[in-house]
Amino acid sequence: MSGARISIVTPSFNQAAFVEDALRSVLDQDYPHLEYVVIDSGSTDGSVEIIEKYKDRLHHFVSEADTGHGNALNKGFAKTSGEIMAWLNSDDKYCPWTFRTVAEIFDAQPDVMWIAGCHGVWNDRGTLMSVQPQYKNIFDYTSGNFSWIQQETVFWRRALWNKAGAHINEDYRFMVDGELWTRFFLQTELWHATCALGGYRRHRANRAAHHQHECQDEMIRAIETMQGRATPDYLARLSRDYRRLAYDVQTSSWMKTSTPRR
């Protein structure tokens, strides 16, 4: 898979203060096999004018009304064809090395279907303030320990996307990522890259910060659905053969363990 096509979708709505930073964190990597789609939901704050400056470097761009975050993502992913998939919200950022690192991981580990990097946090000026490892698996989720698999660091294969239903669940308003992770967990384990790949930007208008209770409620609903679908045989098999992928950016060294985390 060396040089695999990576498809990134950015949903955008009224994030003029940050959207250019997000776009440049994707485009400035100059990854040669990038398929970048931006779906704007009818912004009125100047975001569209900013995005249009980069239109000739985008695989697809549209600005039109939609029914929410999940709907924008579904429209975006429908325009993609890459083997590796992810999305970046318009107020967040990737690290400069992200795509080449991700491509190397998937190339070196053909049985890995999805990965999550360390948690990264940017401030409102775009400075990376912290990077912390965070390991989660299906056992954490079934026990209610879901805080958090950081969406900005997650990448997956299209084959997993297809097996999990090939859609974002538009019944969820906020935790469309967490609900998707529950469906991924029912297909295969999550592997972890011990490096920063991207991060969440903290700022005053962040949706999740203003709707913490709704986020919690949606995650509980998604996990209850997952619990009803996870068969005892599947959980027992994962418990016997749980693997964690560790990747060192500086040495390009790899480590696998087979110790289940409960």
Give the domain CATH number at 120. 3.90.550.10
CA gap 88, 113 in Å, rounded? 19
Tell me if 30 is assigned to some domain: yes
| Percent of the chain topping pLDDT 70 | 87
More confident: 237 or 50: 50
CA torsion angle 150 151 153 159 (round to 10)? 130
pLDDT at site 17 = 95
Tell me if 104 is assigned to some domain: yes
CA separation, residue 123 to residues 91, 93, 147, 175 (Å)? 10, 11, 20, 22
Q: What phi, psi does 24 have (nearest 5°)?
A: -70, -30
CA gap 203, 35 in Å, rounded? 28
Summarised one tens digit per residue, pLDDT across range 163-186 is: 999 999 999 999 999 999 999 999
Q: Cα 239 to the chain's mean position, in Å?
A: 25
Tell me if 214 is assigned to some domain: yes
For the chain, the domain total comes to: 1
Could you tell me the pTM of the whole model?
0.91
Q: What phi, psi does 163 have (nearest 5°)?
A: -65, -30
Tell me if 187 is assigned to some domain: yes
Tokens (6 digits) for 96: 């400069």
Summarised one tens digit per residue, pLDDT across range 82-103 is: 999 999 999 999 999 999 999 9
Tell me if 48 is assigned to some domain: yes
Tokens (6 digits) for 83: 């083997």
Q: At a CB cut-off of 8 Å and minimum separation 6, what does 175 contact?
A: 215, 218, 219, 222
Which has the closest alpha carbon to 173: 113, 141, 218, 132? Answer: 218
CA gap 76, 63 in Å, rounded? 11
**What is the span of the domain harbouring residue 106?**
6-257
Does residue 250 have a pLDDT over 60? Answer: no
CA gap 261, 238 in Å, rounded? 10
Summarised one tens digit per residue, pLDDT across range 7-31 is: 999 999 999 999 999 999 999 999 9
Tell me if 19 is assigned to some domain: yes
Tell me if 1 is assigned to some domain: no
Amino acid at 161: W
Tell me if 80 is assigned to some domain: yes
